[in-house]
Structure 1
């Protein structure tokens, strides 16, 4: 109940700050309540899912819902119809469209925001970034040129971020543990637990790579990152227990048990890295996830003013290393999405970064 009250207060705060209806007035009390209810429904389905037939009957008559993200998208769409000038609702629509790989729809949503608010930097940089990743260089270039006129310094900052991220898409993946001679820390990224809190094979393989790296670098502190609970335990908790049971000293292990996704991994683990103050960090994840992980960790370190040199060690979740080195269009989009989220542009304004 307390969490619901906090969320409702946050939503209403955004309504008061940014909301107005098509008749250029603040939403009525009844409209505010409806927007808040729709928004809560959307974000609940984003995290948990639920009964599709129930929400079809209650909210979305005439719309066939194929999955939980349909509920999320349509919840924010219905709310946006009530208050069409609220950009936070439109950003939430676009973020959900990106999750569903409806990239063209998302780009059109950002264009709709810019049609109302031409100087909106966040809509512009998201439009540019995603256009680039799907190969629409004309939209990318024209949008960047417009942004340079209205937000020159901020635009250049993001162009630098994009350039660094593009480099990560071409990194060489390491599958064998190695020794690092200088001041060093290890970060192992979590993976969703089974319903009863048991680790899945992917997570165990990441931990095996962490253990191999520890044996090459026995003094390096280890951060285990993952805060999603299943069966009453978090990823970080079971990861630490596994490492300790395999001979890693408990005092070397630091737990980030707050992160709920890759962006959270980067933000919370970087807080720990700031205290440990290493010069070198090895990030461990699956090959399919490591490029995204490196991009957001480097961005989080940059925000904190940390000068860290990152290396990688991966669990190979592809048939061959050659296949793992290839970057799909879908992966590029997700990398850019999480980079921009980490930089401070929220996916669901007021609700989730």
Structure 2
């Protein structure tokens, strides 16, 4: 394919793509540096567009607070833009639409995501995952009839997955309806019990953020009140050659907690990872009940994900509750925010095993 034809293809693709993100964070975004018209084949153009999407996705810039850590919004717009440009050149690559839709979920633009999922469904009307995505996000948007339509289609295509989706909805509804609490239930950890403390991003110098220390203060009190409970400390994003799990363990040991009680989970890079990796520790020790400790704006998501993760790992019959460090007054968090609920739905699907990005080399659950 000659350069003239490539230029014509890109003229259409670039016109189709979104304009440059107009946000205050634009200067932090990863910008494409390629001169696409210098490339020779359509495949090379698509590969370069996808590599640019990966660069934007992997940019270290983050938006972070106690309950939510995500990519910069401007970077995620670049991811979407490059995926859609690639789709214009390779219109059979429906995976590119699905990945672009999930990038919009990360940017909290659910309406746009639904449009892209529906566009993909028009190409692949029997796609199981597309019906699952649309059932979830139409429900999130309050379109119960549309959600039910996709659940019915899913039940015909894959009854087991339809049942799992119903179970996910029921789990989320139950956890969201459960009041947050700052004090633990007495006796819950007396036999085969575990305390699971979720990490928080370290400071650039490798020291613990005050939010993480506050979670540990809560952990210490619960550990002292329940001396037989196992303690799982989960968090593995390194800063200055240190991880959250290791620093949390060192802090508790220095306060008198026996190292024999502690399991360090030093690999998770998200709440999804916290749940997936820690669930194996809970299974190995045949834990009957686990109390999850995190910031109040985060614990509901943690509980939903740990419950979903345990469906596959066990142990059978394990139960969970949460203990919140009140990063905000619990009265303010009684009614769950739309942003928190979106994060719960999004990460529930990831924990269940559905990929957000499936367009190599941009692959991520």
Q: TM range, normalised to the smaller chain?
A: 0.7 to 0.9
Structure 1 match to 2:156:
149
Say which of 281, 287, 291 aligns to 1:282.
291
Match of 2:33 in 1: none
Matches of 1:29 and 1:246, distance apart in 2: 63
Question: What is the aligned partner in structure 1 of residue 196 from structure 2?
Answer: 187
Match of 1:16 in 2: none
Is 1:226–1:258's contact at 8 Å kept on the other side of the alignment?
yes
Q: CA deviation at 1:245?
A: 1.3
Residue in 2 that maps onto 1:104? 111
C-alpha distance in structure 1 between counterparts of 2:353 and 2:94, whole Å:
16
1:40 aligns with 2:51: yes
CA distance in 1, matches of 2:73, 2:301: 28
Corresponding residue to 1:313 among 320, 323, 326: 323
TM-score (norm 1): 0.83
Gaps of 5+ in 2: 1-38, 62-71
Cα drift, residue 104 of structure 1:
0.4
Q: 2:42 aligns with which of 28, 31, 55?
A: 31
- Relative distance call for 1:47 and 1:171 in structure 2 (3 A) is farther
> What SS does the aligned partner of 1:288 have?
coil
Map 1:114-193 to 2 at 5 A: 114-179=121-186, 180-193=189-202
RMSD: 2.0
When residues 118 and 327 of structure 1 are mapped into structure 2, their CA distance, relative to the original with a 3 A threshold, is same
- Give the TM-score normalised by structure 2: 0.81
Q: Distance in 1 between matches of 2:260 and 2:40?
A: 54
CA distance in 2, matches of 1:182, 1:290: 23
Cα deviation for residue 105 of structure 1 reads: 0.4
Match of 1:334 in 2: 343
Q: Match for 2:81 among 64, 74, 80? A: 74
Q: Distance in 2 between matches of 1:219 and 1:29?
A: 66
Partners of 1:34 and 1:253 lie apart in 2 by 50
**2:97 paired residue number:** 90
| Distance in 2 (alpha carbons) for counterparts of 1:331 and 1:312 | 16
Residue in 1 that maps onto 2:11: none
C-alpha contact (below 8 Å) 1:177/1:212 kept by paired residues: no
For residue 178 of structure 1, report the CA deviation from its aligned partner: 4.6
Structure (1/2) with the larger helix percentage: 1
Q: Counterpart of 2:273?
A: 264
Partner residue, 2:17: none
Q: Tell me, yes or no, if the aligned pair for 2:97 and 2:120 is still in contact at 8 Å.
A: yes
Cα offset for 1:298?
Answer: 0.3
**Cross-structure match for 1:325:** 334
Quick one: distance in 1 between partners of 2:254 and 2:323? 22
Count how many residue pairs are aligned between Structure 1 and Structure 2: 311
Alpha-carbon distance change, 163 to 250 in structure 1, aligned in 2, over 3 angstroms: same
Distance 1:277 1:39 in 2: 43
Equivalent position of 1:207 in the other structure: 216
Residue 29 of structure 1 and its aligned partner are, at CA, apart by 9.3
SS where residue 229 of structure 1 aligns? coil
Aligned partner of 1:242 in structure 2 is 251
Q: How much does 1:66 deviate?
A: 7.1
Give SS of 1:159's match.
Answer: helix
- 1:3 is aligned to none
3-state secondary structure, aligned to 1:188? strand
Query: What is the CA distance between 1:32 and its match in structure 2?
Result: 3.5
Deviation at 1:172, TM superposition (A): 2.0
Q: Contact 2:288–2:315 (CA<8 Å) still a contact in 1? A: no
